[in-house]
């Protein structure tokens, strides 16, 4: 049975005031950036909606062999009329989005950053620049966003909207996620489970409970996913709207007729929904031979979460 989940974008709003006196200088070294193993993708795009700037559809990659904690993505507008200096980024700071952790050799995908502008910077042309920093402000990576913004008469406008290539897929801010569901009683979420969502620190914690393999085959490529739904989804028999907020792969296999005991997983919050009240849906998937997750069991919670 196929079900479609309508998911919201990951958008963190920061209501920062920009003024002509707030041009800042951010220092970095190439060695520290290379040693960090972190990178920001090149495929970020810019949208202006009234007094809001949305930088969307980007990825943050950790190619290092260690987990990285307490990092921030900061958005600056850098004036084009300034002469570039090696090791220095000059710009007006718009917003800072924190992330609790990125696992080693892992990625955060589809990251979107939104900032409300109450006062535009001085007239001129600006490049949006994303800077990845640690908790002490050290620059770990940076990336200039393709689009150029112009400040004129107290307003920002896009001046060079990049033309799409014929075969380029336009990014979707409200993607539809399709998942296959095959509940065949071969695997089960047993005992008590709960999901804790920390929106302030962008953390989702799944606390179990056992995962029991009731089949005669070893199971690997297991994935736990957390969704927020408007309606309780104890029985899934039709398409429904949901916000996919977290995903975590379980690297160890479960041997036949064995179980994981007291499973606990902490992972990043990858999307933030609109304000409202939601039910929590936890799914457990097994990747098929093509690497596609297929939901084998689920746990729907009666209690609601509001924010």
* C-alpha R_g of the chain: 22
Cβ proximity of 93 and 24 under 8 Å: yes
Where are the domains positioned within the chain?
8-158, 176-306
Confidence check: pLDDT of 122 > 50: yes
Of residues 180, 164, 189, 145, the one with CA closest to residue 48: 145
What DSSP element (H or E) covers 46?
Answer: strand 45-49
Architecture of domain 176-306: Distorted Sandwich (2.70)
Average pLDDT for 132-154? 91
Confidence check: pLDDT of 11 > 50: no
Please report the pLDDT score of residue 174 as a whole number.
Answer: 47
Min mean pLDDT across 51-55, 192-196, 266-270 is at 266-270
Please report the pLDDT score of residue 42 as a whole number.
Answer: 85
DSSP single-letter state for residue 215:
S
Confidence check: pLDDT of 296 > 50: yes
Residue 281's Cα: distance from chain center in Å? Answer: 18
Please report the pLDDT score of residue 293 as a whole number.
Answer: 78
Residue 133's pLDDT band (cuts 50, 70, 90): very high
Average pLDDT for 242-259? 83
Whether the model pTM is above 0.85: no
- Specify the residue for token string 């710009």: 91
Q: How far apart are CA 75 and CA 141, in angstroms?
A: 12
Please report the pLDDT score of residue 240 as a whole number.
Answer: 67
Cβ proximity of 11 and 113 under 8 Å: yes
Confidence check: pLDDT of 247 > 60: yes
Please report the pLDDT score of residue 116 as a whole number.
Answer: 80
Average pLDDT for 272-281? 81
Average pLDDT for 112-136? 88
What DSSP element (H or E) covers 61?
Answer: strand 52-62
Residues 229-240: tens digit of each pLDDT:
887 777 765 566
Question: Does domain 8-158 fall into CATH 1.20.120.80?
Answer: no
105 or 16: which leads in pLDDT = 105
Q: How far apart are CA 116 and CA 68, in angstroms?
A: 28
Average pLDDT for 175-200? 79
Q: How far apart are CA 263 and CA 210, in angstroms?
A: 6
Measured in degrees and rounded to the nearest 5, phi and psi for residue 177 equal -100, 120
Q: How far apart are CA 141 and CA 151, in angstroms?
A: 26
Residue 201's pLDDT band (cuts 50, 70, 90): low
DSSP single-letter state for residue 85:
B
Residues 44-89: tens digit of each pLDDT:
888 887 778 888 777 888 888 888 888 989 999 999 999 888 899 9
Please report the pLDDT score of residue 51 as a whole number.
Answer: 74
Average pLDDT value for the chain: 79
Cβ proximity of 76 and 94 under 8 Å: yes
Please report the pLDDT score of residue 179 as a whole number.
Answer: 65
Cβ proximity of 62 and 69 under 8 Å: no
Average pLDDT for 26-55? 87
């Amino acid at each position: 049975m196929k079900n479609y989940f309508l998911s919201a974008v990951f958008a963190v709003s920061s209501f920062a005031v920009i003024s002509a006196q707030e041009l800042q200088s951010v220092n970095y070294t190439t060695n520290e950036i290379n040693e960090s193993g972190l990178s920001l993708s090149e495929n970020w795009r810019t949208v202006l909606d009234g007094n809001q700037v949305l930088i969307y559809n980007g990825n943050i990659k950790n190619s290092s062999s260690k987990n990285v904690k307490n990092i921030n993505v900061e958005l600056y507008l850098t004036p084009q009329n300034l002469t570039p200096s090696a090791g220095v980024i000059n710009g007006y700071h718009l917003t800072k989005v924190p992330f609790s952790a990125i696992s080693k050799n892992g990625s955060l995908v589809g990251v979107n950053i939104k900032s409300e502008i109450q006062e535009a910077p001085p007239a001129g042309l600006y490049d949006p620049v994303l800077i990845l920093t640690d908790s002490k402000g050290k620059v770990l990576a940076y990336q200039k966003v393709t689009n150029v913004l112009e400040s004129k008469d107290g307003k920002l406008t896009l001046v060079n909207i990049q033309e799409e290539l014929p075969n380029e897929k336009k990014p979707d801010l409200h993607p539809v996620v399709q998942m296959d569901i095959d509940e065949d009683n071969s695997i089960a979420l047993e005992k008590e489970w709960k999901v804790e969502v920390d929106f302030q620190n962008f953390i989702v914690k799944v606390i179990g409970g056992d995962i029991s393999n009731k089949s005669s085959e070893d199971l690997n490529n297991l994935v736990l996913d957390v969704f927020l739904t408007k309606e309780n989804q104890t029985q899934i028999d039709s398409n429904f709207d949901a916000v996919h907020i977290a995903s975590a792969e379980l690297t160890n296999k479960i041997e036949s007729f064995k179980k994981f005991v007291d499973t606990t997983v902490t992972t990043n919050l990858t999307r933030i929904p609109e304000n409202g009240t939601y039910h929590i849906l936890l799914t457990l998937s097994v990747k098929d031979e093509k690497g596609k997750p297929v939901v084998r069991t689920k746990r729907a919670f009666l209690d609601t979460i509001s924010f």
